[in-house]
Amino acid sequence: MMSQALDELARHALPGLAFTPGRHQLPAAQFHTDQADARLYLHGATVTDYQPAGQKPVLFTSRAAYFDGKKAIRGGIPVCFPWFSTHPTDPDAPAHGLVRTKPWQVTATTQTPQGPRLELATNLEHLHAAIHLTVGSALQLRFIASNKTTTPQRFELALHTYLCVGNIHQARITGLEHADYLDNLDHRARKTQDADPITFTSELDRVYLDTQQDVTLHDPTWNRRIVVQQTGAGSTVVWNPWIDKSKRMADLGDEEYEHFCCIETGCIADNAITLEPGQSHTVDLTLQTK
Ligand code: BG6
């Protein structure tokens, strides 16, 4: 399905929310209010930018990211659904599911007390997905999956959030102490986080399980904390590709690993969700700076 044309999207414009051509003319929703600026591409419903007024950017998007309307955008909040990483049975299926490379449809816009809200949706064969993005002094992203069929449907999800940091060598993450995780760099071996904050000294790629608590990215370089709050998701992925993997990635600059880490909110492995026919599941993600 093609992206909706900008003239068709114009009827959804609100004060503080316009539809404009983004990079390479891809249709995008541009938020601009007293509280914050943000941008979402209809391609993948990918939020690429969020910047509260007077602050540095919260979301990292690579300067080498593709904006070709085909590949996933490297940065922001790509949506991985209905599977995370490789497909459970089909090795030829794309990594991280089907919807981060699909054109999503705008279904509604509303003005809320927090700021403008944009609602989008996309359909897969068995599942329907919707996103509600509200831009204010916090960024609120709601993801809703619904089972359209007459049989149970299992899915995984990751809201694959790339967060800016001043310097990865100084950054640390709290909130995941003592949590079990699957180590993607060790054949998904199950391990337990110790009592210390997570720091970055080499490639790190972990799926933390049964995590309901807030997770905080501490950034002493920029004198800022980013708090990641969620409901409805049980997993938190922490990822930084470090030096060698960055060099292998065509859509990431060689030095850019120093300026982001991913804290992904989702439902992965043991925390995957099975929807009964007609049932829906909602995940709420909030990003707030302190
Ligand atoms: C992370 C995975 O979520 O996404 C990593 O844990 C992966 O293993 C990374 O490398 C990026 O994936 P992709 O498909 O966007 O290159």
Yes or no: say if 285 and 51 are a contact pair by the CB < 8 Å rule. Answer: no
- How crowded is residue 203: how many other Cβ atoms within 10 Å of its Cβ? 16
Give the residue among 27, 70, 75, 71 at the shortest CA–CA distance from 49. Answer: 75
User: What is the per-residue pLDDT for 3?
Assistant: 75
Share above pLDDT 90 across residues of the chain, in percent, rounded to a whole number: 97
Who's near 193: CB < 8 A, 6+ residues apart?
Answer: 176, 177, 178, 179, 180, 181, 208
Interval 178-189: pLDDT, tens: 999 999 999 999
User: What is the per-residue pLDDT for 4?
Assistant: 84
Specify the ligand 1 atom closest to the Cα of 205: 6
Specify the ligand 1 atom closest to the Cα of 245: 10
Q: How far apart are CA 267 and CA 281, in angstroms?
A: 11
Secondary structure class of 91 (helix, strand, coil) = coil
Interval 139-149: pLDDT, tens: 999 999 999 99
Q: How far apart are CA 210 and CA 218, in angstroms?
A: 22
Among 99, 160, 183, which is best to mutate for testing ligand 1, by the most ligand atoms less than 8 A from CB?
160
Mean pLDDT within 119-133: 98
User: What is the per-residue pLDDT for 243?
Assistant: 97
Integer Rg of the chain from CA: 18
Specify the ligand 1 atom closest to the Cα of 72: 15
Q: How many CA atoms lie within 13 A of 164 on its CB side?
A: 21
Yes or no: say if 45 and 120 are a contact pair by the CB < 8 Å rule. Answer: yes
b/e 96-126 (16+ beta carbons within 10 angstroms → b): bbbbbbbbbbbeebeeeeebbbbbbbbebeb
Interval 91-114: pLDDT, tens: 999 999 999 999 999 999 999 999
Confidence at 1, pLDDT banded by 50, 70, 90: low
Q: How many CA atoms lie within 13 A of 239 on its CB side?
A: 20
Beta bridge partners of 90: none
Residue nearest to atom 15 of ligand 1 (CA): 74
Distance from the CA of 184 to the center of ligand 1, in angstroms? 10
Average pLDDT, the chain: 97
Confidence at 5, pLDDT banded by 50, 70, 90: confident
Mean pLDDT within 30-35: 98
Q: What is the pTM of this model?
A: 0.98
pLDDT at residue 2 greater than cutoff 90: no
Distance from the CA of 72 to the center of ligand 1, in angstroms? 11
Mean pLDDT within 102-129: 98
Confidence at 175, pLDDT banded by 50, 70, 90: very high
